Amino acid sequence: DAMVIQNPRYQVTQFGKPVTLSCSQTLNHNVMYWYQQKSSQAPKLLFHYYDKDFNNEADTPDNFQSRRPNTSFCFLDIRSPGLGDAAMYLCATSRDWGIGGRLAEAFFGQGTRLTVV
């Protein structure tokens, strides 16, 4: 059973045209993350939500925004996609914030591969 679901799996968007990626979870986890992963690189954390509290990473461009209307859903909005934003976008969840050990495990969705043309 899928626990973290990302839609769509593949997204093609035009340069400069706003695009939204979606993520839903059935785990009832408090924390949701968005990672950007470019080809052959490590995932890079863009931001996370702890419940309704939004937390931006210091180097995340303003072009990236996020919404979490409820526990289950989280959206990634790219306001004006550039060619450099083509990447795999991974959504993940974890049970809570500020906990360590095995409980800090992140559960990932299958990712959305974004192409900018």
Partner 1 sequence: AQKITQTQPGMFVQEKEAVTLDCTYDTSDPSYGLFWYKQPSSGEMIFLIYQGSYDQQNATEGRYSLNFQKARKSANLVISASQLGDSAMYFCAMNSVETSGSRLTFGEGTQLTVNP
For partner 1, the binding residues (CB under 8 A) are 31, 33, 40-43, 45, 48, 88, 90, 92, 94, 96-102, 104-111, 113
Which C-beta is closer to partner 1: that of 18 or that of 51? 51
Which C-beta is closer to partner 1: that of 69 or that of 101? 101
Least Cα distance to 2 among 30, 36, 26, 28 occurs for 26
Q: How far is the CB of 16 from partner 1 (least distance, A)?
A: 25
Q: Which long-range contacts (CB under 8 A, 24 or more apart) does 95-98 make?
A: 95/27, 95/29, 95/30, 95/31, 96/29, 96/30, 96/31, 97/30, 97/31, 97/48, 97/50
Q: How far is the CB of 50 from partner 1 (least distance, A)?
A: 8
Q: How far is the CB of 81 from partner 1 (least distance, A)?
A: 19
